[in-house]
Structure 1
Amino acid sequence: MQSDPARPAILVPLIVVQSLCAIVFLGDIIGDVLVPDVGEDEGRHVIFEILATFGLIAAIFFEIRILRRLTQQRARLETALSDAQSAVFDVIEAQFDLWALSPAERDVATFLVKGLSTAEIAEMRGSKEGTVKAQLNAIYRKSGCANRSEVMSQLIDTLMGRRDVTA
């Protein structure tokens, strides 16, 4: 799995390392200013250190802003995903209401929507495959569908707004 460089878990250690480097550079600059070397290039050296340090500090503040924005965006996306999941559940439940499914048929239909096979549904419900097949047939009859594919197609059409849930 490849790491995303925009993930907060990656940005935080980078910010920490950069902050430590900035502290070292600031200490070196303060030392150079308080105890100057008498070499002719020392003034230029200190200027480059100052520019590099301020560039590093600016990068740290920029990364902190990005991190904050990513964290806020992630929170908004998680809220939107939760809302969408709830809406999908509501639409599917409304369709099950329209079909007048019994509680057992709702369970089976829910497992059908999740893509489980007849055997898997029977195992999950602790019932026999014949019982699940009978419940699937009742779901098909009540929904006006001939098979799983048609049930799923009808639900997807409803979710996509191509079909009114009250129809």
Structure 2
Amino acid sequence: MQTAEIGRSQPRTAAVLVGAASLLLCMLFFAFDVVWDLWEHLGAGSGYGAGESVHLVFEILAVAGLGYGAWLLRGYVAFLRRETDRNQQTIASLRGSFEQVLTEKFDGWNLTPAEKDVTLLIIKGLSINDIASARNTAPGTVKAQSSSIFRKIGVSSRTELMSSVLDEFIDVSNVET
């Protein structure tokens, strides 16, 4: 999952860097043009006509606008980095809480190690055949283990099992926050 996240974030990061570089290059171009125009006219001792004054004002506004855009972009990227860090911490906390809830539930249900494995795979959404393949057992064995798990937990289906675990996790998560 982290590899997929990295793969998706790299083009976005590159696009932001290209955008920022474009903003700064345009800003530098217009700033240089403003300075050049001022130097050229003031050095020659000539005044500005109405058209040249308007042109110079627009270039100054372009420099200011591009600078402001670059400043906003920098701030937004910093905000997104803080949000990403905060979200990763929340996910890590929730993942740890979920594992703790599962461990407590498994212990409370008196599941065998094999039943714990099957229960975890059921919660992950694997089919009976997929569970059998993952555990190198026959589908009939997984069905028997599933029946034993459902009986111990007091549920009659996969849906009820997942609902029971998620309800407990949500209750625990709400208490912790």
| TM-score class, shorter | 0.7 to 0.9
Check whether the contact 1:8–1:67 (CA below 8 A) recurs between aligned residues.
Answer: no
1:11 aligns with 2:21: no
> Residue 168 of structure 2 aligns with which residue?
158
Deviation at 1:156, TM superposition (A): 2.2
Cα distance change, pair 45–108 in 1 and its aligned pair in 2 (3 A): same
1:6-155 residue pairs with structure 2 within 5 A?
8-36=13-41, 38=46, 40=49, 41-155=51-165
Q: Structure 1 residues 65-74 or 146-155, which shifts more?
A: 146-155
TM-score, structure 1 normalization? 0.84
Deviation at 1:42, TM superposition (A): 2.3
Q: Structure 1 residues 100-109 or 143-152, which shifts more?
A: 143-152
Whole-Å separation in 2 of the counterparts to 1:70 and 1:76: 10
Count of residue correspondences: 157
Amino acid at match of 1:102: T
Whole-Å separation in 2 of the counterparts to 1:47 and 1:33: 11
Deviation at 1:138, TM superposition (A): 1.6
Check whether the contact 1:22–1:56 (CA below 8 A) recurs between aligned residues.
Answer: yes
Cα distance change, pair 44–148 in 1 and its aligned pair in 2 (3 A): closer
TM-score, structure 2 normalization? 0.80
Q: Unaligned stretches of 5+ in structure 2?
A: 1-11, 173-177
Deviation at 1:134, TM superposition (A): 1.7
Amino acid at match of 2:76: I
Q: Unaligned stretches of 5+ in structure 1?
A: 1-6, 163-167
Amino acid at match of 2:130: E
SS of the residue corresponding to residue 95 of structure 2 reads: helix
- How high is the sequence identity, in percent, across the aligned residues? 32
Q: After superposition, what is the alpha-carbon deviation per residue over 1:53-111, rounded to whole angstroms, capped at 9, x for unaligned?
A: 11211111111111111111111111111211221121122111111111111110001
